[in-house]
């Protein structure tokens, strides 16, 4: 009977969620299934704050539904409109629980009463701890805040609380993909309709200042000279690879390398394999079977089993470039 009663309550709750989900200030949710306190926010405020997020994600999305129950999620993989809605609802007191990563650690005003570190992680260091734990204790509202460790080793807890904040050191990322993206940005600004020479000049000056006035240059006297020589070598390699022309304009597979910028240097390795024809050789069989690239779009000549073998060969090559995970010796 208890199970039947619980199922009935859950069915009523689901029905109220789908039919009258917008009526958050009405008694549409049972008290034991929501963290929202009465009077915290009106129906109109909630609809206004979450309007953009609901248009992008849909009314029935689980992340939208849990917002109505006072729970939010915040991490870099979510839509920006949804993260903004979570921040606003949390500040106004509508959300009581926010499950977040380090995205809330810097630059966002979201004070709370308690902060829980749920589990250990290699990225949890002293500066991350101080930034996250500093959210606990709302000025003018709470006398003190609570920091709770859950499943974190005791020695790690002690080290986080007593360790000094690490000194900031310049680590200017002067990589090949970074310069490639700067060239793409310059070309994008220059090719925009209505872009005046003044606008293009201001963008280029801003990029030049960012390159010449970094913290890395302030710490090392010869950093600018080294970076200049390195940049010339990288640009020369782009021209030889056919990614840019002699004037720095994009060509060839530059867009693909930029799109996969987060996977550097695997993005450049993939471009080299495509330009060298290695992947084309995998897709081509000695007996004439394979992809016929002379036709647009390309046509596969061969049986399904042959295509499965080619797909496996491509998967082996790409798995060496992307999404690589180090396995423990016990699993190898």
CATH architecture of 2-162: 3-Layer(aba) Sandwich (3.40)
Can you give the residue ranges of every domain in the chain? Answer: 2-162, 180-262, 277-332
| Rounded CA separation 243/238 (Å) | 5
| Rounded CA separation 87/49 (Å) | 10
Put simply, whether the predicted model's pTM sits higher than 0.75 gets the answer no
- Per the CB < 8 A criterion, the answer to whether 314 and 306 are in contact is no
- Check pLDDT > 70 for residue 154: yes
The mean pLDDT of 213-233, rounded to a whole number, is 77
329 compared with 251, residue with greater pLDDT: 251
Return all residues near 332 (Cβ < 8 A) that are at least 6 apart.
Answer: none
* Predicted pLDDT at 81: 92
Alpha helices in the chain (DSSP H): 2-19, 43-49, 51-57, 62-67, 80-91, 126-133, 154-162, 176-191, 197-212, 215-219, 223-241, 254-259, 266-276, 278-282, 304-319
The mean pLDDT of 63-91, rounded to a whole number, is 90
Kindly tell me the burial class for residue 3, based on how many C-beta atoms sit within 10 Å of its own C-beta (0-12, 13-18, 19 or more): exposed
- The share of the chain scoring above pLDDT 70, in percent, equals 80
Under the banding of pLDDT at 50, 70 and 90, the label for residue 140 is: confident
The mean pLDDT of 229-248, rounded to a whole number, is 87
CA angle 91-99-162, nearest 5°? 90
- Per the CB < 8 A criterion, the answer to whether 289 and 302 are in contact is yes
């Amino acid at each position: 009977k208890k199970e039947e009663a619980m199922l009935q309550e859950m069915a009523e709750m689901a029905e109220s969620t789908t039919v009258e989900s917008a009526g958050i200030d009405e008694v549409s949710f049972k008290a034991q299934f929501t963290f929202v306190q009465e009077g915290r926010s009106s129906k109109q405020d909630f609809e206004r704050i979450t309007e953009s997020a609901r248009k992008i994600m849909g009314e029935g999305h689980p992340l939208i539904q849990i917002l109505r129950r006072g729970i939010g999620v915040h991490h870099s993989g979510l839509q920006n409109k949804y993260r903004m809605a979570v921040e606003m609802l949390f500040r106004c007191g509508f959300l009581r629980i926010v499950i977040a990563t380090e995205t809330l650690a810097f630059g966002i005003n979201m004070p709370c009463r308690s902060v829980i570190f749920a589990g250990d992680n290699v990225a949890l260091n002293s500066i991350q701890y101080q930034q996250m734990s500093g959210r606990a204790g709302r000025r003018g509202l709470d006398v003190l805040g609570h920091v709770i460790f859950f499943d974190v080793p005791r020695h790690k807890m002690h080290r986080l609380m007593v360790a000094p904040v690490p000194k900031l050191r310049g680590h200017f990322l002067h990589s090949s993909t970074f310069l490639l993206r700067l060239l793409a940005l310059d070309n994008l600004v220059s090719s925009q309709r209505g872009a005046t020479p003044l606008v293009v000049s201001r963008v280029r000056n801003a990029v030049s200042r960012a390159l010449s006035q970094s913290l890395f240059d302030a710490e090392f006297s010869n950093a600018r000279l080294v970076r200049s020589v390195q940049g010339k070598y990288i640009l020369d390699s782009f021209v030889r690879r056919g990614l840019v022309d002699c004037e720095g304009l994009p060509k060839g597979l530059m867009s693909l390398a930029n799109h996969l910028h987060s996977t550097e240097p695997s993005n450049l390795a993939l471009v080299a394999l495509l330009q060298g024809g290695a992947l084309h050789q995998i897709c081509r069989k000695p007996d004439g079977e394979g992809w016929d690239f002379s036709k647009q779009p390309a046509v596969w000549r061969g049986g399904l089993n042959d295509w499965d073998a080619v797909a496996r060969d491509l998967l082996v090559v790409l798995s060496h470039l992307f999404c690589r995970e180090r396995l423990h010796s016990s699993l190898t």
